Structure 1
Amino acid sequence: MRDVRSALPRSFFLLPLALAAGALLILAAVPARANPPDGAPSLAFPVDCHINLDCSVQKYFDHDPGPGAKDYMCGDLVNDKHTGIDIRIPSYVDMRRGVKVLAAAPGTVWRTRDGIEDINVREIGAEVVDEYGLGNVVVIDHGNGWRSFYGHMRKGSLTVKEGDHVEAGQQVGLIGLSGLTEFPHVHFMIMHNKEAIDPFTGTSVNDPLACGDTGHALWNPTTLAAMAYTPTGPLIAGFSTDKPDKESANNGVYDKAQYPASAPTLFFWATYFGMKAGDRQVMRIVAPDGKVIVNFDKIMEKGRILGFNFIGLKAPEGGFARGTYRAEFQLLRGDSGNDKIVAAMARTVELQ
């Protein structure tokens, strides 16, 4: 691993845990960008993906100056002291395919770092990468004290160097898993004169927050409209014949259209984000004859930013029936009897 600490101040490396580490679905009106902060860049979406289709905002900027956490909609899709926007892709499989990170506005590349391995921090421990928290990163200077940061990019993927002029939409790297992160994403952060700014509000953690007010947003109007606040959503789901785990699911180990009917067990798993306490989670497996053979239906006691759950059963005597098995995942929210589906996935698999 290349040592680049001499090129950047120590505070730069410590950004990720301190700086980079909802409630009801309220969609703010999208105003014309008439009142951004003075000299602020107009930001385009910094990833080559379709928001809420093949990528999503996993975490927002924390506006709570105390030990709590609150995103710009006064929701809880955020960690304490998180001063950026985490735009994630569903799995490591998508990461290996390559998803481009794009300059959000024109400027000059101020700093870069490459050579950090793409490894889930839970696999190696935070202490191993605590000085490389943002992992592989590009920093662009937009003038007037404004800079944008693009962190956790894939090793060897950077396409720019210090001093390069870049245009909005120009590729600067690929989404990765480098530094202090547990899922593939780009940590996008805006700073003005060394103060982190939320691009949805144009304000810092020290400014008062009016929930959902995007009247001073740095995003251009098209991007702001596309990034309408989504506090909950599905990520990936599938079947396995071994007890599933999240890392294997992210790595595509279970991405199979067919399993042997002689398998001793059958599981269905799902990964999702933004579950809230009181949500009703429903998971079921349906046999080829239409009979529900596993049913999980439970009110969840705790919320979580990222969730992974599975259900399963042992094979009956003589093995599983051959044919197409269907599974469903739903997350429902609201008063009992009036629940609304806020996340859903369905999958099928052949047992032969």
Structure 2
Amino acid sequence: MRRPLGALLLSLVTAPAVASDFTLQWPLDCRLGETCHIQQYVDHVPGPGSQDYQCQGLSYSGHKGTDIALPYLSDMQVGVKVRAAAPGIVQGVRNTMPDAYSTAENAELLQGRECGNGVVLRHEGGWETQYCHMRQGSVRVQKGQRVAAGTALGEVGLSGKTQFPHLHLSLRQNGTVIDPFAPEGRQACNSTADPDAPNPASLWADPIEYQPGGFLGAGFAAHVPEFQAIKSGEASGIRLTTKSPALVFWAYAFGGQKGDRIRLTISGPKGVFSVHEITLERDQAQFFRASGKRLRSKSWDYGRYTALAVLLRDDEEIDRIEEVVDLR
């Protein structure tokens, strides 16, 4: 990232932070676990490989921030405000880059501008926050402006090097990357502490529960949808009838790990008629799986159909999501 959007990231593995009263407010107008989720955390492993502060895989090699993602592109288009996580002074802004998925074709154009549209805030005590991938034209602050915690900076976008609409929030102290979830360093990987419990050393003003993966959405369709249609939101809310050529249930999730199992079950007016369990063959940051049946008679039975997706990891249920459709 270029200097105008903040100091260079000088360290990959977060160093212990100096004792401070510095805290962060939640930076998005969204409900965590409902209308947004944390897709990736700071990488705590130097060199190849990656691990988040809970010694799990919600990160990637060299990742220097917290990615708070929206489920669908349509959510971004409605407009989700990005807010200052702490009071400070605007150090730099960028506001002109288009919202577009990063590809091999535009990689050269994004070089040095991977953050996309964004804002850098300087805070007391050598702290600095950086807000990336904001929506083109949405940034509403100017360099030198003093802002309070909660001040609207702009909106979540798809600018820069990204594959999904999200806010990348970086935190630094005196140029060193700090993980706000583990400012004093992560817990030992063989710790007996509850992995789902909030980190007591977190810099967040309100505790944030760790979610190791889960479902972002689900729906019915008359065929297996394209992944891009799911990510955009176009696959949601498709109308089906008793004459639809197939009845397909899809579930969209994040944080998949190799060996995870997704169990998809569909029940109709006469009971369960489809059960399909799929094992992930590799880690996947975002993915979907689908199952169903083709119409083999003149029509589907009239009435309500219920589908359930369950995400299992080492026989432990990570998350579940249910969807219903009435066929008329």
Secondary structure of 1:331's aligned partner? strand
Give the whole-Å Cα distance in 2 for the aligned partners of 1:130 and 1:291.
51
Q: 284, 292, 300: which one pairs with 2:280? A: 300
Deviations 1:62-91 (A, max 9, x none): 010121101111111110000100011211
User: 5+ unaligned residues in a row in structure 1: which ranges?
Assistant: 20-34
Q: CA 1:151/1:95 → structure 2, altered by over 3 Å: closer, same or farther?
A: same
Give the whole-Å Cα distance in 2 for the aligned partners of 1:208 and 1:267.
42
Aligned to 2:213: 232
Q: CA 1:62/1:329 → structure 2, altered by over 3 Å: closer, same or farther?
A: same
Give the whole-Å Cα distance in 2 for the aligned partners of 1:13 and 1:319.
63
Deviation at 1:124, TM superposition (A): 5.5
CA-based RMSD of the aligned residues comes to: 2.7
Contact in 1 for aligned 2:72/2:231 (Cα 8 Å): yes
Indicate yes or no: 2:327 matched with 1:346: no
Give the whole-Å Cα distance in 1 for the aligned partners of 2:310 and 2:46.
34
Give the whole-Å Cα distance in 2 for the aligned partners of 1:230 and 1:193.
30
Contact in 1 for aligned 2:53/2:186 (Cα 8 Å): no
Q: CA 1:96/1:170 → structure 2, altered by over 3 Å: closer, same or farther?
A: same
Give the whole-Å Cα distance in 2 for the aligned partners of 1:291 and 1:312.
12
Q: CA 1:319/1:129 → structure 2, altered by over 3 Å: closer, same or farther?
A: farther
More off after superposition, 121-130 vs 134-143: 121-130
Aligned to 1:9: 3
Contact in 2 for aligned 1:116/1:136 (Cα 8 Å): yes
Q: CA 1:109/1:14 → structure 2, altered by over 3 Å: closer, same or farther?
A: closer
Aligned to 1:131: 112
Q: CA 1:350/1:100 → structure 2, altered by over 3 Å: closer, same or farther?
A: same
Q: CA 1:305/1:254 → structure 2, altered by over 3 Å: closer, same or farther?
A: closer
TM-score (norm 1): 0.81
Give the whole-Å Cα distance in 1 for the aligned partners of 2:104 and 2:268.
36
Aligned to 1:310: 290
Aligned residues: 317
TM-score (norm 2): 0.87
1:83-98 map, 5 Å: 83-98=64-79
Contact in 2 for aligned 1:257/1:350 (Cα 8 Å): no
Q: 31, 44, 53: which one pairs with 2:34? A: 53
Give the whole-Å Cα distance in 1 for the aligned partners of 2:294 and 2:7.
48
Q: 114, 117, 134: which one pairs with 2:98? A: 117
Q: CA 1:182/1:323 → structure 2, altered by over 3 Å: closer, same or farther?
A: same
The AA in structure 2 aligned to 1:218 is L
More off after superposition, 75-84 vs 301-310: 301-310
Give the whole-Å Cα distance in 2 for the aligned partners of 1:125 and 1:12.
23
User: 5+ unaligned residues in a row in structure 2: which ranges?
Assistant: 190-194
Indicate yes or no: 2:205 matched with 1:191: no
Give the whole-Å Cα distance in 2 for the aligned partners of 1:47 and 1:123.
30
Contact in 1 for aligned 2:6/2:92 (Cα 8 Å): no
Deviation at 1:267, TM superposition (A): 1.7
